[in-house]
Amino acid sequence: MNGSIFLVSALLPFLLILIWKLEGKAADSFASIVTGLALLFNIYGCYLFFQEGSEKLYHYSYVSTGKLGEVFGLNIDVASVLMGLFSILIAFLLVLYSIAYISKENRAFPLEKGKGKFYAFLGLLIGASMIFTYSTNLIQFAFSLELMAIGMLYLVDFHGNARLDAIKAFLVLNLGVLLILGAIVILGSKQVLFIMPKNNAALLLIMFAGFAMSSQLLFYSWLPDATVSPLPATAYVHSASIVPLGPYMLFRVIQFTKPDDSTFWVLGGLTVALMLLMMIYYPLQRDAKKLIAYSTIAQAGVAYITLAYALLGHVAGIQIAVYQVVNHMVVKTLAFASVGGLAYSMGTTDLGRIRGIRKVLPWTGIAWFLSFFGLAGVLPLGMFFSKAFTIMITKHAKGIASWLFPGIVLIDAAIFLVVVLLWFREFFFNEPTEEAKTEPKLMVAVMLVLIIIGVLAPWITLDIVMKIGFAR
């Protein structure tokens, strides 16, 4: 197994920083080629990985220091291969989507210049996310997160109207970096996953760092505010970058250290409280991007609940956590793509102002219907399966958690579904209230590909995640 293939796939997106000054089709072409090559390298790496035996974990160490041990390397196993593939696939699709969306024809956010700058920071976000995914140690987690925080600082304020929101996102993510550094201080050279000991203090610091990344309790306000960033970047943060990487980082630590259940109620209790709060926020939202953001926070909470179950020693907890994250990647990207269609064609994401999209924006309407209902756990998209498995496995948790955990997941899905149904009735069937631009063919094509992936992926990835196990 050659780790350099995955390394190239992870590093290629950083080349987008070079097109800072490019504009128009030149920037589009360069970004498409670079992310397309990264995707091809990753697919080839995945092919070799499964050909040579997916039950193995391949560890490649590239940079080490005396006091801190390994500081840069790659862990190539079922989890990182699956996460990396979906992350770069979604990045490539969003770059294609951006070719049409980031333009002066966009009614909500017309852009005359700055496309190269957008791709540069998106490339920073993509590359850092890939390095994070294959991380072998906490220093690499912290460094990658810092790069993502820098990307967010500029992307959130990309249109020049959200400086405070950008600073808030930057500070919260840097708090996550500081919490990871605190764990490194405790663990020293044993901050490398392969040799990391069970340590509840370090585990709690990493847990709260993950909470900061995925906008959980105490940190939940930064993510909805950050939706002012260009929609493709927002979609990537929610689906395949910072937010899902929070539970993924905690998954990695649990997978390698297999800690005891002493922190079970810290993780489970705070997540339940967070999801209850999100149920209050759902009905209050009129902006589609904000509604998706609160859904994102709750969906990350579902992954944390399964990880709490994993703290009881059940391998199904880490398996279904990854399954939830991967399914969420596709459905969430589709949801943002549909909302982007509303912004581009109708000039608004205010659900109260939109009517009759089935007539004026049929493909966007189909994508919206499938994605929002999919987020509620309705077939045919994959979150039905990941939520169903979460409910089934957490029924075997201890004490009140045996009914509290599955109950909270079910109630959250039901409330979100009711909210979606109410909006659906309002703006899907009524007569159009304003004119709309034609849906760009490239944006429609991306939405159709995401629908196909969203239907097929859960059937393929289920067998793959079942190969994930505790590393010790």
Query: What is the DSSP annotation of 144-168?
Result: HHHHHHHHHHHHHTTTSS-HHHHHH
- The Cβ of residue 188 has, within 10 Å, a number of other Cβ atoms equal to 10
Give 298-322 pLDDT, tens digit per residue.
999 999 999 999 999 999 999 999 9
Task: Find out whether 257 and 241 touch, Cβ atoms under 8 Å.
Answer: no
Mean pLDDT of 166-187: 98
**Bridge partner list, 61:** 73
Task: Find out whether 232 and 94 touch, Cβ atoms under 8 Å.
Answer: yes
Mean pLDDT of 372-377: 95
Distance of CA 38 to CAs 32, 234, 329, Å? 10, 21, 18
Mean pLDDT of 190-203: 96
Q: Which helix (H) or strand (E) holds 327?
A: helix 315-346
Using DSSP's 3-state secondary structure scheme, residue 134 falls into coil
Distance of CA 226 to CAs 13, 150, 187, 289, 310, Å? 22, 13, 33, 10, 31
Taking the whole predicted model, whether its pTM rises above 0.95 is answered as yes
On the 0-12 / 13-18 / 19+ scale of CB atoms within 10 A, 67 is exposed
Q: Is the pLDDT of residue 1 over 80?
A: no
Helix %, strand %, coil % for the chain, to 5? 75, 5, 20
Number of domains in the chain: 1
pLDDT at 168: 97
CA angle, residues 67, 72, 78, in degrees to nearest 5? 125
Q: Which range of residues forms the domain containing residue 160? A: 3-465
Q: Is the pLDDT of residue 431 over 80?
A: no
pLDDT at 472: 73
**Bridge partner list, 192:** 137
Give 40-78 pLDDT, tens digit per residue.
999 999 999 999 877 789 999 999 988 899 999 999 999
Tell me the average pLDDT of the chain: 94
Q: Is the pLDDT of residue 433 over 70?
A: no
Name the residue with tokens 């904000």. Answer: 290
- The Cβ of residue 278 has, within 10 Å, a number of other Cβ atoms equal to 21
Mean pLDDT of 125-144: 98
Name the residue with tokens 């209850």. Answer: 276
Q: How confident is the model at residue 94 (pLDDT cuts 50, 70, 90)?
A: very high
Using DSSP's 3-state secondary structure scheme, residue 395 falls into coil
- The Cβ of residue 280 has, within 10 Å, a number of other Cβ atoms equal to 10
Cis ω for the linkage preceding 380 (within 30 of 0): yes
In a domain, 472, yes or no: no
In a domain, 471, yes or no: no
What is the crossing angle of helices 231-239 and 315-346, to 10°? 170
Name residue 146's amino acid.
E
In a domain, 470, yes or no: no
For residues 199 and 176, give the distance between their C-alpha atoms in angstroms, rounded to a whole number. Answer: 18
For residues 449 and 119, give the distance between their C-alpha atoms in angstroms, rounded to a whole number. Answer: 22
Percent of the chain with pLDDT over 90: 87
pLDDT at 434: 67
For residues 46 and 244, give the distance between their C-alpha atoms in angstroms, rounded to a whole number. Answer: 21
Q: How many CA atoms lie within 13 A of 392 on its CB side?
A: 8
Using DSSP's 3-state secondary structure scheme, residue 453 falls into helix
For residues 249 and 386, give the distance between their C-alpha atoms in angstroms, rounded to a whole number. Answer: 19
Using DSSP's 3-state secondary structure scheme, residue 52 falls into helix
In a domain, 451, yes or no: yes
Closest C-alpha among 86, 97, 188 to residue 133: 86
Q: Provide CB contacts within 8 A for 456, sequence distance 6+.
A: none
In a domain, 412, yes or no: yes
| Torsion over CA: 29, 35, 41, 47 (sign) | negative
**Bridge partner list, 153:** none
